Structure 1
Amino acid sequence: MTTSDVPRADEDGAVAPPAPPRLVATDLDGTLLGPDGAVSSYTREVLLALEERDVPVVFVTGRPIRWMETLWAEVGGHGLAILSNGGIVYDVASHSVRRAHTIAPDVLVRVAALLRAAVPGTTFALEKTTGFSREPDFMPRMQVNTDPGFPVGALEELVDDQVVKLLARHEEQEPEEFWRLAEEAVGHEVTTTWSSVGTLVEISGAGVTKASTLASLCGDLGIDRSEVVAFGDMPNDLPLLDWAGHAYAMENAHPSVLASAEHAAPHHADDGVARTLARLFGL
């Protein structure tokens, strides 16, 4: 890799921090991954260079465990990841959950009832440390949801003490309007966010976000927020970008993210995260 391969200044003209960050936190879809959902050879090269410098790269994503298995080898196969919007800290090498921020069963049932009353037609699914389960009408047309091993039934029958994310879906509402209605109905009980192009609200335990879990992890590692650089593209990344000392919205990011982040990185289709990291670390 040569310096001529990457830009020497941020896309927005920002000045690089005086010292390289000690930890990188990056979202995956729409951020580190290309439009094909894969890690490019250039991005893989940059991640390897950071590994050789002992710089932790923490993948901070809304994806559940089940959507990560095909990616681990591509991104190094070790280290820690924050999954399900902060619900899980995952040890990649051992394929095990290190920490889980679960939602109590009674809270799940109450929140579902409140949201159904506020927006009739809402259906639900559950992401757990142990897998996935859904109501019969929750997006059955998506093949990823129809594995015969996934339990299907009434929400009240599916909840247990291993749930880290409640998924709320509506087939007729617009995405951001549904998020607004969900926040008004249940935001006093849980954390709601949105990261999909579809009408899907992601619900975590009260106060649980990508940022809260990363802050705890950085505390364990003795790393200050001022030493963290973070990348994201969707509203569920806003707490993360607000918390990190150096925040980058992708060029392709949602308008709310572009308006909030400190800096802009090139488009995810152009290896924006990797190009920015190459500049920051002088690769």
Structure 2
Amino acid sequence: MKALRLVALDLDGTLLRTDGSISARTRSALAMAEAAGLTLMSVTARPPRRVRQVAAQTGLRGTAICSNGGLVYDVTNDAVLRQNLLSAASASVLIESLRAAVPGVAFAVEAGIQYGCEHGYVIPGEHPNDRDDPRMRRDDAVALCRAGVTKLIVQHAGWPLEELLEITRAHAGALASVTHSGSNFVEVAAAGVTKALALEAYCAEHGIAATQVIAFGDMPNDLPMLGWAGRGVAVANAHPDVLAAADEVTSANDHDGVALVLERLAHLGFVPSWC
């Protein structure tokens, strides 16, 4: 049997505790896996700037897949390695279409390492630093999309998230991929972009088979990745659809769910049965 080679880690709600921290036990489990030769890869909806914050807190380094698969980022060297952009034309069509269908909708834009939002966009409570960030551009969403978009964020405080998600999907059609990762907004990327496809491409480049990958997640944007990996693990606090689809359910993010699985695999020498 071949040994496990890569651990794909969603961050918020999965690896990180609710307060955004990471426990000593989980740090130890990650260090143990890395010492055994496994690649630890963050696969997250976060853009590079937010992955940098987590890296500073957790010590995670190497390569990360950001923006739901839209961008591959070198954490160690703070460099974008590859990105799949939603074109300015497609983004503009979707923005104007949603403005007509959902009056009062507001947008934020991630474009590689650049970012910005409309004046009507409400900065979420979990991102308080954005309110005073001098690098946060303030402009009309169409203007912010002129160079293409890694991730377009769609927000409307008065609409239920599930309804906004379905409306956005209906208007995006084949132009873009649409998902959400737990925050109270919808996330749009180029057509075909998923965490799974970005992870699959990375693994193909490095000769890693799907069976040699274990993936952890909690939200619907993690479903393609959990389905592609040799073992897909949901934390106990995961979305019901993720709990139903996962190969295994571990403890919640606040109770070291990732660490529990890695500790068990360490006893097997990181050569689990599915490999």
Verify same fold: TM over 0.5. Answer: yes
Once the two structures are superposed, the pairs formed by residues 24-63 of structure 1 within 5 Å of their partners are: 24-63=7-46
Residue 143 (structure 2) aligns with: 157
Once the two structures are superposed, the pairs formed by residues 232-271 of structure 1 within 5 Å of their partners are: 232-271=217-256
Q: Distance in 2 between matches of 1:113 and 1:138?
A: 16
Find the residue that maps to 2:13 and give its secondary structure: helix
Residue 86 (structure 1) aligns with: 69
Task: State whether structure 2 residue 106 is matched by structure 1 residue 123.
Answer: yes
Offset of 1:35 from its aligned partner?
A: 1.6
Structure 1 contact 22–56 (Cα < 8 Å) conserved: yes
Offset of 1:145 from its aligned partner?
A: 3.1
Find the residue that maps to 1:71 and give its secondary structure: helix
Once the two structures are superposed, the pairs formed by residues 200-219 of structure 1 within 5 Å of their partners are: 200-219=185-204
Task: Read off the aligned partner of 1:259 and give its amino acid letter.
Answer: A
Return the match for 1:222 from 191, 207, 210: 207
Q: Distance in 2 between matches of 1:38 and 1:273?
A: 14
Structure 2 contact 6–39 (Cα < 8 Å) conserved: yes
Structure 2 contact 95–142 (Cα < 8 Å) conserved: no
Task: State whether structure 2 residue 163 is matched by structure 1 residue 177.
Answer: yes
Q: Distance in 2 between matches of 1:19 and 1:85?
A: 28
Q: Distance in 1 between matches of 2:151 and 2:183?
A: 18
Structure 1 contact 191–205 (Cα < 8 Å) conserved: yes
Task: Read off the aligned partner of 2:142 and give its amino acid letter.
Answer: E
Task: State whether structure 2 residue 157 is matched by structure 1 residue 167.
Answer: no
Residue 172 (structure 2) aligns with: 186
Structure 2, unmatched stretches of 5+, are 270-275
Offset of 1:141 from its aligned partner?
A: 6.6
Of residues 234-243 and 109-118 in structure 1, the stretch that sits farther from structure 2 once superposed is: 109-118
Residue 182 (structure 2) aligns with: 196
> Could you tell me the TM-score, scaled by structure 1's length?
0.89
Q: Distance in 1 between matches of 2:252 and 2:60?
A: 25
Q: Distance in 2 between matches of 1:123 and 1:46?
A: 41
> Could you tell me the TM-score, scaled by structure 2's length?
0.91
Number of equivalenced pairs:
265
Of residues 102-111 and 137-146 in structure 1, the stretch that sits farther from structure 2 once superposed is: 137-146
Residue 273 (structure 2) aligns with: none
Offset of 1:235 from its aligned partner?
A: 1.0
Task: Read off the aligned partner of 1:170 and give its amino acid letter.
Answer: H
Offset of 1:237 from its aligned partner?
A: 0.7
Task: Read off the aligned partner of 2:100 and give its amino acid letter.
Answer: A
Offset of 1:25 from its aligned partner?
A: 0.4
Q: CA RMSD in A?
A: 1.6
Q: Distance in 2 between matches of 1:145 and 1:188?
A: 31
Structure 1, unmatched stretches of 5+, are 1-17
